[in-house]
Amino acid sequence: MKLKLKTRLVVAFIIITVIPLTLIFGVVTGLNSYQRNAFRKAYNLTDKIDLISGNTLQIFSRLTSHEVNEIGQLIQSDPERLGDKEYLDKLNNTLSRKYAYVIVRKGDTVLFDGNSHITAALYNQLPKYEEMDSTLDGAIYLDGESQHLVKQIDFLFPDKGLGTVFIVSNIDGLLPEIKLMMWEMLLAGIMIIVFTDAILLMWIYRSVISPLGRLEVATKKIRDGNLDFSLEIEEDDEIGQLCQDFEEMRIRLKESAEEKIEYDKENKELLSNISHDLKTPITAIKGYVEGIMDGVASSPEKLDRYIRTIYNKANDMDKLIDELTFYSKIDTNKIPYTFSKISVSNYFRDCVDEVGLEMEARSIELGYFNYVDEDVVIIADAEQLRRVINNIVSNSVKYMDKRNGIINIRIKDVGDFIQVGIEDNGKGISAKDLPNIFDRFYRTDSSRNSSQGGSGIGLSIVKKIIEDHGGRIWASSKEGIGTEIHFVLRKYQEVI
């Protein structure tokens, strides 16, 4: 399941707070229960006992309750045994396992001392006969080098001597066990926190640090100019979206770099084409001028033919330069448009008349067919639309391979649009070349036949102008039969 970064932070907060507290509580409860049961079993206790929250008097009273009861019964049945060293040694051994020992006093004399290291200060603190409550639950604290809990049981020896049995519990003896349990709980808590943090760290690393690391590597590759890689995206969160945006940026950078390479290549090709296309008419002009200078054009007819040829070559150069200038405006999106209302019938009739003179000079038959009403109007730039017609017709002339060339211009009404079709019976365009003829610099004559030439930007200019008019252009062709280029322009309609 993919989580958003915000959700992961909430989950991380829960992991680092709730889970450790819950686990620590469970561990403390379990250890306390385990130690309590072990303590009860070790000291043969039947009552429940809490080593942490229970008070010390209660703990030691329960630890020695069996021996206290035994002494109470012995006082009733055979108090003389409380002066028997063998019995007292046995009793003391039993108590020593419970952090306690026994002291028996008769009058002011100590008959038995179960602790050889007892101090005089402790003796002096022992209460006198019947000085304190000698019931089974009574006990007092004695302070010295260490704390002791004293249970006093008074009785009378058979000779009526005043006897007292003290069961002294060394509180410091039990503290190590409690401290050990506390240390165990503390260690368990630390281990839980460390374990939880380790899991959280691994999760955060995989979900945050790992993709950031891949992003850093990708950034360095782009910095070094390497765009030929792919950034793998596994996450579906904010960081994953960042990686996705980064990958899209890389793709666009790569496309831009490839476009720039292609653009530079096209510009070099354009310069080569322009150089070739300018050199050809210049060479011809120089040749004819030298012929005139050398007197080769001896007759008026020959001179007139030379001058006309020079004029035509100069016109070709002018068209080429004009085309190049217009191309630079396309590249900077600074084409000057002056839109106005244009009568379709009148405008295209004038265009055909203008083109017809050149077609007649080239012995090409020009047909004009208008199927649009006289009142149909479009909004267009007359000069730029004339450039479209001239470029398409020039392209047809350039690739005309028939002796009896034919170019037809048809104007049709197609609803909200007018459709202009320019047909020729030239050599046609191959199916593989047809989709690319409107691309900049694309030329089907890769061998650059000098009779055809061209910069390869004429039809790209046509497409740009038509699209800027809100229209659409397309072509169809059959090799050996001819080519048809169509474009549509929206009709102007008066708003009533």
**pLDDT the model gives residue 218:** 86
The model's pLDDT over 108-141, given as tens digits with 9 standing for 90+, comes to 888 888 876 666 667 777 888 877 665 545 555 5
Report residues of the chain scoring pLDDT below 50: 39, 42-43, 45-46, 51-55, 136, 446-453
Does residue 101 come out as left (phi exceeding 0), alpha (psi in the -120 to 50 range) or beta? beta
The token duo for 12 is: 């991380």
**pLDDT the model gives residue 120:** 65
**pLDDT the model gives residue 424:** 94
Among 488, 222, 265, 218, residue whose Cα is nearest residue 378: 488
Q: Which residues lie below 8 Å from residue 173, measured CB to CB, with a gap of 6+?
A: 99
Q: What is the pTM of this model?
A: 0.47
d(CA 89, CA 106): 17
| H or E element that contains 422 | strand 417-424
Q: What letter represents residue 464's amino acid?
A: K
**pLDDT the model gives residue 460:** 84
d(CA 8, CA 29): 30
**pLDDT the model gives residue 417:** 94
**pLDDT the model gives residue 260:** 84
Angle (deg, nearest 10), helices 344-361 and 382-398: 30
The residue assigned the tokens 């600074």 is: 334
Contact 181, 35 (CB under 8 A): yes
Contact 484, 475 (CB under 8 A): yes
Give the Å distances, CA to CA, from 342 to 127, 321, 418, 471.
131, 28, 12, 15
3-state SS class at 164: strand
